[in-house]
Chains A and B, each alone.
Chain A
Amino acid sequence: MPEAVTFEEIVEAHYQNLFRFALSLSQKENDACDLVQQTFAIFAQKGHQLRDSSKVKSWLFTTLRREFLASRRKAERFADEPPDEATTPDLSEERLATLDGETVIRALGELPLEYREPLTLFYLDEHTYQDISNHLNIPIGTVMSRLSRAKVKLRALLQNATAK
């Protein structure tokens, strides 16, 4: 366990965003809870090996993602893609006003995993491009291109969702 930070403090600091990330990946509340629990169970066993407490957050997100991928029983490899030059469509304030968090999470869940992961992390607290690159183990340029494409796809999904 990293010194000066207790397990309880780490749970309090990260479990909500980890749940949101897990929910966007699994799309099921119970599965998301299981992923978060599995992540912290591993942390409880191996967290003491982390000498740098500043790495805890990154370790948790990376571990949760690995556990999710393991649960899907398949490895996914994503090729680097060039940045998308297309203009990201906007959502009107009226349409945004009709949205709630669960709708956005559901829409994120409809995105392919390679877009879902970086965009969810992007919307979670304090995840920079570099954070996302570290969590997903992909180049920062790939993060940017996937985020760009992901935003286009998400907004299109939300536009349709709000239009219904």
Chain B
Amino acid sequence: MPLPSNYDDPTDAALARLVRDVNPPTRLRRELLLLAPRSSRTIFAFWLTALAPLAAVVVIWFSMEARQPSLEKAQADLLAFLNTDFELSTEPKPIDQLRTWLDARGAPADFEIPKELAAHLPEGCRVIEWQGHTASLICFYIEGGPTVHLVVFNAGTFRQMSSSPQIASNGAWAVVMWKAGNSDFLLFGETDSKNLLRLL
């Protein structure tokens, strides 16, 4: 062990060296280390272990959130599709026959159509594939108004869906979105949103 330089007297230096030659019993160090409080590293490891499952859940949740389709994107894509000269896959049929047809193709069929809308004649239906999700499209002829288009996804497709209808508009188009039962609904029409709301 180096000596401090402040020992001017060589006898002091020699005595200091002798004092420092006295070593504690080996057990002392071991016993002292046992007194160690839980170190920050240990605490960190403890919390890391304890919180790992929660962290995994959070990561999975965020991952699912990241994969959750955007309702805004769905509106835009579906509206773009509706503005094309798309064709329906069926002739005008009663709604129960359309359900059967959709169900046979793996599309959502077990959904409840709003009472006011169900009073109108379906023009037909088709299946839509959007971002890996299969949706049903049923178009309704509205007397004295434009055709409206009901797109039905399985429930939970869109996190933002609420049982209270949400309204959005895009140019001459309006869309009303809501969830009910085991389905997520988007109702499009080239009309005022109030007219769409009257159909719910």
Contact = CB atoms under 8 A, between A and B. Distances in A.
B9 interface: yes
Q: Is the contact region of chain A dominated by helix, strand, or loop, or is it mixed?
A: helix
Given A88-B9, A102-B22, A7 B29 contact: no
Interface stretch (B31-39, B53-61, B132-140): B31-39
Interface stretch (A29-37, A65-73, A76-84): A29-37
Contacts of B6: 128
A15 B12 CA distance: 22
Given A1-B40, A16-B23, A37 B18 contact: no
Given A15-B28, A36-B24, A101 B19 contact: yes
A122 B9 CA distance: 13
Interface string B6-26: 100101101110111111110
A124 interface: yes
A33 B28 contact: yes
Contacts, number: 104
Nearest to A22: B24
Interface in A107-164: 108, 120, 122-128, 151, 154-155, 158
Given A7-B39, A16-B24, A33-B24, A124 B19 contact: yes
Given A33-B24, A88-B9, A100 B37 contact: no
A37 B1 CA distance: 23
Contacts of A32: 24
A122 B4 CA distance: 10
A94 to B, nearest CB: 12
Task: Pick the 4 closest A-B CB pairs, nearest first.
Answer: A19-B24, A101-B22, A101-B21, A123-B16
Interface of A: 1, 6-8, 11-12, 15-17, 19-20, 23-24, 29, 32-33, 36-37, 40-41, 44-45, 47, 88, 90-91, 96, 99-105, 108, 120, 122-128, 151, 154-155, 158
5 contacts: A1-B40, A11-B29, A23-B22, A96-B14, A101-B18
Interface of B: 1, 4, 6, 9, 11-12, 14-16, 18-25, 27-29, 31-33, 35-37, 39-41
